[in-house]
């Protein structure tokens, strides 16, 4: 099973939920940190990392000895990463998406494959939980290929928890695509509702079952709960604002360690999600605080 933890905006508690949910799964769980621009699950999981594999993207390298200056490579590239200017073919590797179209269409076979380092995929263990994270190279702008490399580590025999990047753009869709369940973490503020709406609209086309966790549930308005009711989104847990949890977070502790009464609730949450995946269609349910 693959459960993606997402949020319309940063700072809602997505990583707090992902790390505690993965931890209660023990040897049945695998946590994959797909927030490759700023992976932070490791702060709470303290994994021992034992492998680190570089992930590269193929980029064009032009042999001007063979080039006939036909310009077809520049015509096919949607990203202007290769252009014919005068009697030179210029390449801009940082803009290349690695589609291979230019090399495929070059009539002179003048384009060879170079590579651009995207980042690394690291694996290890946090106690009994298998841990995977991607780390994007500083200065690299394109994260989806690295996220796909992280997702190649999904183990079909385990319950895989994917910590998605915040927002609702390409990296989020790349992460949640193919998930059996998408768990949205939000907070009961106008910003929380606004960004939840956008994220729900963006990912609902994927057709996965969805649910919501309301973090700091006692600080705002009831608008998010009303929205969940309207959209028939199961509200699976409410986490009230709690100084003990905030202090634990600041120390880099898991929620279930800072506030042990949540351990059982996260066990119940994993069972509830498994039930929703088996029998989708549950509408709004009133979560206990």
Q: Kindly state the helix (H) or strand (E) to which residue 277 belongs, with its residue range.
A: helix 261-278
Q: Does 237 bind ligand SF4 (CB under 6 A)?
A: no
CB 225 within 8 A of CB 214: yes
Instruction: Give the pair of three-digit tokens for residue 30.
Output: 């695998």
Number of residues binding to ligand SF4, judged by CB under 6 A: 28
**What is the DSSP-derived secondary structure letter of residue 137?**
P
Closest contact distance (angstroms) between CB of 104 and ligand SF4 is 8
Which of 3, 21, 67, 235 contacts ligand SF4 by CB under 6 A? 67
Q: Does 62 bind ligand SF4 (CB under 6 A)?
A: yes
Closest contact distance (angstroms) between CB of 103 and ligand SF4 is 7
Closest contact distance (angstroms) between CB of 118 and ligand SF4 is 13
Look-up of token digits 């509200």: 235
Dist. CA 276–CA 282, nearest whole Å? 7
Q: Does 57 bind ligand SF4 (CB under 6 A)?
A: no
Which of 3, 82, 120, 150 contacts ligand SF4 by CB under 6 A? 82
Cα angle 117, 206, 140 (rounded to 5 degrees) comes to: 15
Which of 52, 68, 232, 283 contacts ligand SF4 by CB under 6 A? 68
Q: Residue 79 or 241: which CB sits closer to ligand SF4?
A: 79
Q: Does 121 bind ligand SF4 (CB under 6 A)?
A: no
Q: Does 72 bind ligand SF4 (CB under 6 A)?
A: yes
Q: Residue 67 or 239: which CB sits closer to ligand SF4?
A: 67
Dist. CA 126–CA 157, nearest whole Å? 18
Look-up of token digits 């695998």: 30
- Segment near ligand SF4 (CB under 6 A), from 7-15, 80-88, 153-161, 274-282? 80-88
Dist. CA 122–CA 109, nearest whole Å? 36
Which of 24, 77, 132, 183 contacts ligand SF4 by CB under 6 A? 77
Which of 49, 70, 198, 277 contacts ligand SF4 by CB under 6 A? 70
CB 181 within 8 A of CB 210: yes
Q: Does 102 bind ligand SF4 (CB under 6 A)?
A: yes
Q: Does 110 bind ligand SF4 (CB under 6 A)?
A: yes
CB 203 within 8 A of CB 210: yes
Nearest to 59 by CA among 11, 29, 101: 101
Q: What is the 3-state secondary structure (H, E, C) of 149-161?
A: HHHCCCCCCCEEE
Q: Residue 77 or 162: which CB sits closer to ligand SF4?
A: 77
Instruction: Give the pair of three-digit tokens for residue 126.
Output: 């946090």
Residues in touch with ligand SF4 (CB under 6 A): 60, 62, 67-73, 76-77, 79, 81-82, 84, 89, 96-102, 106-108, 110-111
């Amino acid at each position: 099973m693959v459960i993606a933890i997402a949020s319309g905006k940063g700072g809602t508690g997505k990583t707090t939920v992902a790390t505690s949910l993965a931890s209660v799964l023990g040897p049945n769980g695998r946590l994959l940190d797909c927030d490759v621009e700023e992976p932070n699950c490791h702060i709470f999981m303290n994994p021992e990392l034992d492998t680190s594999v570089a992930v590269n993207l193929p980029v064009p390298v032009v042999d001007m000895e063979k080039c006939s200056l036909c310009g077809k490579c520049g015509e096919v590239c949607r990203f202007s990463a290769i252009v014919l200017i005068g009697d030179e073919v210029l390449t801009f590797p940082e803009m290349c998406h690695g589609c291979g179209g230019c090399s495929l269409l070059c009539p002179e076979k003048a384009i060879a494959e170079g590579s651009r380092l995207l980042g690394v995929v690291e694996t290890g263990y946090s106690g009994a939980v298998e841990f995977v994270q991607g780390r994007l190279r500083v200065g690299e702008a394109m994260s989806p290929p690295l996220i796909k490399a992280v997702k190649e580590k999904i183990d079909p025999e385990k319950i895989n928890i994917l910590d998605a990047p915040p927002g609702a753009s390409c990296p989020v869709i790349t992460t949640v695509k193919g998930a059996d369940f998408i768990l949205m973490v939000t907070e009961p503020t106008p910003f929380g509702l606004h960004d939840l709406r956008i994220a729900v609209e963006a990912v609902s086309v994927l057709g996965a079952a969805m649910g919501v966790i309301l973090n700091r549930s006692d600080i705002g308005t009831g608008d998010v709960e009303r929205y969940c009711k309207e959209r028939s989104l199961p509200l699976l847990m409410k986490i009230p604002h709690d100084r003990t949890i905030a202090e634990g977070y600041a120390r880099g502790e898991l929620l279930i360690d800072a506030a042990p009464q949540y351990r059982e609730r996260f066990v119940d949450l994993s069972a509830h999600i498994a039930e929703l995946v088996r029998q989708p269609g549950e509408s709004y349910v009133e979560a206990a605080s």
